[in-house]
Amino acid sequence: MYKYKLSKALGLLIILLCIFGLVYLTESMVGQIEKDADNQQKFKVTMQVATVSARLEAAIYQDVYIADSLATLLTVRSFADEDELDRLTTELLRKSNYTSQIGVAPNDVIRNIFPLGREPEIIGVRYIDVPDQWVSVRAARQSQSIVINGPLNLLNGNEGIIARLPVFTDPPYNLNYWGVVSAVMPVKRLFEDTGVYQLQQQTELAIKHADGKVFMGDKGVFDEPDYSDSVRLPGGRWIIAVKFKPHPVQNIIWVRGVSYSALFCLVLAIFLVYRSYRKMHQMSLYDELTGLVNRRFVMHHLTELVESNKQQSFSVINLDLNKFKYVNDNFGHDAGDALLVEVAKRFKHALRASDVVARLGGDEFFIILPRQSELADINKIIEQLEKKVTSQSMLYQGHELPISVAMGGACYPADAKDIESLLKVADQRMYQDKVNTID
């Protein structure tokens, strides 16, 4: 009898423990569901922030590079014929996605605005007399590189972002300053298309310049942000910070009722979300067309190399295809894409497994060479690359497509002590190679 009672009590205890365990498991699952819902929202917002950052970078860089072609032309020739300059800028504006106006200012005095619109009084304005614009014009001249100004109120009353492109008539020495080309991008359309305003509706969003000046949202968001990301721009960067808004789980009683059957689904969902995250993270670092790593990967990798405690030396090569526009215009964009893929393959086959080959965008490629620190060695590598990549033209649908590449290398830390300066040296040498090739 005692054993029976003991067995019954033990059974009851086991049942109670099971019930308690089941209740505990159910409540734990409910808590986990709430937590997972919050994490999923955070994951979604995190990916949105990364996507917005990438879209802003791509949109601004693309239009800046198009406007830079005008600045490049002004370094080698002057436009006495205003009609010719008007035709050129009209074509550049047509190819741009966001640039609404292009200004030309020899000696920092606005001489031309394309299209002029309803602001003829802007002509003749000296930038030195407009303090909030003079700062960026002077910075572009002093740094001899592109500087992004804004968002700010423009002379015509609208709000915009201005890319300042300094023009020197003696590159790469840059001693003879000619003036500045300004490309104006309206903020509203840029932020709408890149998803900034949509992200602002879903989160507490704030954006500031690298110097700390907040130009969008509440500066308090930067005190304890849930997530932040950088938007790397020519001559600087923006910092985006967000705080997540609460996302309450509805029908919690129903959730408790189906928690046991949902357990397996929850595990599967977590796995799928994780796999999706890994896949999207991978996609954010690679170029879809060529399969090479992209600009974001390059900047992260360069930062790791520079900040490494081992203080490793390395070199970079900036590359740009010559006559790529000729291929697109005469054989179509499919031919241009095929050419980019072929060039990417040739670079990968010509380099070591430890070297990094990337496509930065358009027809621009980039190479990172670990443990290479002598410019003479880099020049030899450039020579070998040019032979292996350009010695044979590419056959496309019965047409021979010429392959020509302009390259410029730079060594760290011999040529520069920071990433921005290193890229600038490589870009200048690449540009000089392009000029020599054209000549």
List pLDDT tens digits, range 76-117: 776 656 778 888 888 888 999 999 899 899 999 998 888 866
Are 315 and 376 contacting, i.e. CB atoms less than 8 angstroms apart? no
Q: How confident is the model at residue 413 (pLDDT cuts 50, 70, 90)?
A: confident
Mean pLDDT in residue range 352-357: 89
Report phi then psi at 415, rounded to 5. Answer: -90, -25
Are 48 and 126 contacting, i.e. CB atoms less than 8 angstroms apart? no
Are 185 and 160 contacting, i.e. CB atoms less than 8 angstroms apart? yes
Are 322 and 437 contacting, i.e. CB atoms less than 8 angstroms apart? yes
- β 177-186/101-106 pair status: antiparallel
Q: Lowest mean pLDDT of 44-58, 146-160, 401-415, name the range.
A: 146-160
Share of the chain above pLDDT 70, in %: 81
Same fold, 25-251 and 295-438: no
- β 203-209/112-114 pair status: unpaired
Q: How confident is the model at residue 420 (pLDDT cuts 50, 70, 90)?
A: very high
Note the maximum CA span of the chain: 115
Mean pLDDT in residue range 371-394: 88
Among 33-37, 45-49, 105-109, 392-396, top mean pLDDT goes to 105-109
Chain position carrying tokens 């070297």: 355
**Alpha-carbon span 314 to 304, nearest angstrom:** 12
**Residue 310 has what pLDDT?**
64
Sequence ranges of the domains in the chain: 25-251, 295-438
**Alpha-carbon span 366 to 380, nearest angstrom:** 17
Higher pLDDT, 17 or 339: 339
Q: Lowest mean pLDDT of 28-42, 181-195, 327-341, name the range.
A: 28-42
CATH number given to 25-251: 3.30.450.20
- DSSP state letter for 371: T
Report phi then psi at 247, rounded to 5. Answer: -130, 85
In the predicted structure, residue 4 carries a pLDDT above the cut 50: no
**Alpha-carbon span 70 to 68, nearest angstrom:** 5
Tokens of 257: 């009722």
The model scores a pTM over 0.75: no
- β 236-244/203-209 pair status: antiparallel
Tokens of 135: 């700062």
Tokens of 188: 């509203």
Mean pLDDT in residue range 344-349: 91
**Residue 3 has what pLDDT?**
40
Report phi then psi at 204, rounded to 5. Answer: -85, 105
**Amino acid identity for residue 197 in this structure:** Y
**Residue 1 has what pLDDT?**
36
Are 72 and 188 contacting, i.e. CB atoms less than 8 angstroms apart? no
User: What is the CATH architecture assignment of 295-438?
Assistant: 2-Layer Sandwich (3.30)
**Amino acid identity for residue 427 in this structure:** D
